[in-house]
Amino acid sequence: MLSKHDNELITRVGPGTPMGELMRRYWLPALLSEELPEPDCPPIRLRLLGEDLVAFRTTSGRPAVLDTWCPHRNANLFWGRNEEEGLRCVYHGWKFSADGACVDMPNEPARSKFAEKIHQPAYPAVDKGGFVWVYMGPPEHTPEVPHFEWLDVPSDQRNVHKRFQDCNWLQNLEGEVDSSHAPFLHGSVGPGGIQPYNANSDRQPVFEVLETDFGAAIAARREAGPEQFYWRITPFMLPCYTIVPRARDTNYIWTAAVPIDDLTMFGMTVIWSPDKSVGRTPVVETDASFRARQTKANDYLIDRQLQKTESFTGIRGVRVQDMAVQEDQRGPLSDRSREHLGASDLGVIATRRLLLKQLKALQKGQEPKQPHSPEVYHLRSLALNAARETAWQDLMREHMRLGAGVQT
């Protein structure tokens, strides 16, 4: 469990909050590239870390993100005209560049220097890997975009996806680092009860955690016969990224829990392969607003008959099963002071501690190292059987491409 104080610290992300300030030290995938399909396309609304923003693509193709409220009379720049390398407010014609400079003020006298005094808050944005990434922290600390492996593969070898979730970002992240829920939430049932998940029937994993240069490696060990263990190792990469453990002959799944505000988030997912094309099947069926067809309002279309005969939950779709439990944890912002955690929750506990450790260090003026070490994110997850005597840390180095220095 967390105290109410620490729960507030770790979940609140608005301007000036400790977690919000930490999140602003990292690049976040804020949009799909296709949401800004071409130069001078219509601007779109964007809410990120509790701030109302507007995003557009300039005439030269550069993505841009500005505060959405015009500094003149607080009109919404979403209604603006995207033209000639800038966004023009429709109220009085003030125009702003991608960097926030006021480059035209047509309702002021021709000789006026007033425009030179006006600067609209703007955030750096880059288009990479199918996402528009945004950095909202201090300009003097601007890092590189993390060097995830999937950023370098051809576009047909990755499938990017975005979905809205009606819950705090941490509820999603905690689901990603919790390997013990999979045999239940994502499991099937049959005449003998719960069926084996991922060809392994051990539902009581033993957890170990290693703090690393990218965040933490969370290892779940299961029995796999008299001579082997089945290992699932999930990398938690600060501040909100994970890679779901998958067998080596299948696609990898990267996820990011991106806070819209304290009560809502976008789940960003990339399914990728380092050596072959992947399909374009959506992770979750969504509408034009990236909201799922299966929602809390329609009980995620749960099928109680299916729950009796085939599916442990009766809810179709792995990601929708996740959404159902994450969006309904005593509301969109879970009160963790009411929890009772056990040995299987070690990954969740370690993730919380690491986040709290880093945000408290930032409060003391210690900048996080990870944003300025983009190469530490160049890794994979792991799921395989190995001889009992094999150390899981050795498996990490051999199969997750971590290099020698994995521990901080």
- Any idea what the CATH number is for the domain that residue 121 is in? 2.102.10.10
Same domain, 293 and 356: yes
> Are 192 and 76 in the same domain?
no
Provide the percentage of residues in the chain whose pLDDT is more than 70. Answer: 95
Please indicate, yes or no, whether residues 114 and 196 belong to a single structural domain of this protein: no
Tell me: pLDDT of 355 over 70: yes
Q: Give me the residue label for tokens 């919790």.
A: 178
Residues 314 and 356 in one domain: yes
Task: Check: CB of residue 24 under 8 Å from CB of residue 13.
Answer: no
Q: Of the candidates 105, 134, 163, which is a domain's last residue?
A: 134
Residues 191 and 335 occupy one common structural domain: yes
C-alpha–C-alpha distance, residues 261 and 239, integer Å: 15
pLDDT 10s digits, 115-157: 999 999 999 999 999 999 999 999 999 999 999 999 999 999 9
Q: Which pLDDT score is estimated for 179?
A: 85
Give 198's pLDDT tier (boundaries 50, 70, 90): low
More confident residue, 200 or 221: 221
Answer whether residue 379 is part of any domain: yes
- Using a pLDDT cut of 90, give the percent of the chain over it: 86
Domain final residue pick, 102, 134, 166: 134
- End residue of a domain, out of 134, 168, 192: 134
Same domain, yes or no, for 127 and 192? no
Residue 53 three-state SS: strand
What is the pLDDT, as a whole number, of residue 405?
A: 41
Q: Tell me how long the chain is.
A: 408
H helices present in 219-263, as ranges: none
The CA-CA-CA angle for residues 239, 351, 138, to 5°, reads 25
In terms of residue numbers, what domain contains 94? 28-134
Q: Are residues 171 and 54 in the same domain?
A: no
From 204-218, 331-345, 366-380, 389-403, the region with the lowest mean pLDDT:
389-403
pLDDT tens, 359-407?
999 999 999 999 999 999 999 999 999 999 999 999 998 888 754 344 4
Could you give the dihedral angle defined by the CA atoms of residues 138, 140, 144 and 146, in that order, rounded to the nearest 10 degrees?
-40
The tally of domains found in the chain comes to 2
Residue for token pair 């490696």: 217
Domain contains 13: no
* The predicted structure's pLDDT at residue 7: 97
